[in-house]
Amino acid sequence: MIKVPVSVGITMGKCKQQEIEADFPYRSLVGSLLFVASRTRPDILYSVIHLSQYNNAHLMKHVKCLKQVLQYLVNTSDYCINLSRCKDDKINIYTDAAADYSTCKSFGGFMLYIGCAVVSWGCKKQTSIACSSMESEFVAMVHAVKEGFWLSSIFENCPLFGYVNVSTVFSDSMAAINFTNNDIENTKTRHIRIRYYFLRDWFEKNYFALAKVPGSWNVSDLFTKWVSGDRIRMFDRC
Given a cut of 60, is residue 112 above it in pLDDT? yes
Question: Cα separations (Å) of 127 from 25, 75, 106, 220?
Answer: 27, 34, 8, 19
Question: Cα separations (Å) of 233 from 76, 78, 110, 182, 228?
Answer: 11, 12, 17, 36, 9
Tens digit of each residue's pLDDT (9 = 90 or more) over 170-228: 999 998 998 888 766 655 555 566 666 788 888 888 889 999 999 888 999 999 988 88
pLDDT number for residue 184: 63
Contacts 24+ apart (CB under 8 A), 98-104: 98/136, 98/221, 98/224, 98/225, 99/130, 99/133, 99/136, 100/50, 100/125, 102/11, 102/12, 102/13, 102/14, 104/129
pLDDT number for residue 236: 62
pLDDT number for residue 47: 93
pLDDT number for residue 214: 92
Given a cut of 70, is residue 22 above it in pLDDT? no
pTM, rounded to two decimals: 0.87
Given a cut of 80, is residue 89 above it in pLDDT? no
Tens digit of each residue's pLDDT (9 = 90 or more) over 1-10: 677 888 877 7
| CATH 3.30.420.10 placement within the chain | 91-237
CATH architecture of 91-237: 2-Layer Sandwich (3.30)
Tens digit of each residue's pLDDT (9 = 90 or more) over 137-171: 999 999 999 998 888 877 777 765 555 567 899 99
How many angstroms from the chain centroid is the CA of residue 6?
A: 16
The rounded percent of the chain whose pLDDT value lies above 70 is 84
Instruction: Tell me the β-bridge partners of 122.
Output: 110
Question: In terms of DSSP bridges, do strands 105-114 and 117-125 run parallel, antiparallel, or are they unpaired?
Answer: antiparallel
